[in-house]
Amino acid sequence: MAMLWSLVALIAALLAGMLEVRASVEKELSSECREFLYMGTPPVGLEDHSLKKICQRYNFKPRYVTLYDTIDHVPVYSAYVFKRSDGEKMVDVPWMYEPQLSTSSDTGEMQSFPQGHTHQNFEDAQAVLEDYANAINYERGHLNPDEHQADPDDKAATYTLTNVVPQVREFNIGPWKTQEHRIRKRLNNYCRGKAYVVTGITTSGNMIRRHNIDRVAIPTYMWSAYCCTDFDHNAPYEERYRFPAFAHYGLNDKVNNKIVELSVKKLEDFLKSSTFVDKNFQIFMDDCVPPASPHSN
């Protein structure tokens, strides 16, 4: 009997611990920033002490969510709500950094880089402009692209180095940009409600170096997935079968960088085999399957 009660106590303790861990994860993001995540839940299966969830704030409002690697100085993913737009660009804003990753800052708003070399107090935890200055083969590729936003402030908020990765120029202006256009048009035309998007990367150890120090991880693959449960059921089949959720990935390289479109489940399987996500990795809660209606059979 004593052994039985000990077993019950152990199970209760484990359950309590799991609930405590989940609660602590949920506390990492404010209720405001959870609006950018499907069912208010971030992707699961990405656990590492160096990964920090950031509620990206600009001009006194939350804009999107980023999971940032403070060791490799790149975003692992950015999660945002797609906004219908005609793809107009917003480039006349300065590049910004993230004070939330600096122990010496008391602001939660992204800030323009200070003039000169006065940011040693935060460059240990994030990329800085100098890291990209001599990386002539790479461009600063957005995970949350400005063309997927409509409001000028939402567009401006994408110009932070915590939302960009070193992207091979030929891939950035070629297949990847074409796919961003394709997704924008698809969601503009056929998503009737909110579209939640998560765009991320995989890495394999290649780095941009500065002063002989590894500074910024270079993505091997870039990937993206969207979830829109309220969509046009009369859309052409070639578009309709890509709802409520679909995904794509591509090799961050000059050649062999064709975009592959596939189901979210197949993307998850691909990422499980090619990066550090664990076996429970899931991008959207319940695979973007909406809860059953109480009137459904």
Residue range 132-153, pLDDT digits in tens = 998 999 999 999 999 999 999 9
pLDDT of residue 149: 95
Do 144 and 155 form a contact (C-beta atoms < 8 A)?
A: no
**For each successive 10 residues of the chain (297 residues), what is the average pLDDT?**
46 41 45 92 88 95 96 97 85 89 76 74 90 93 96 95 97 97 97 98 94 96 98 96 98 96 97 87 92 55
Q: Scan for tokens 């995989």, then name that residue.
A: 202
pLDDT of residue 117: 61
pLDDT of residue 119: 63
pLDDT of residue 292: 67
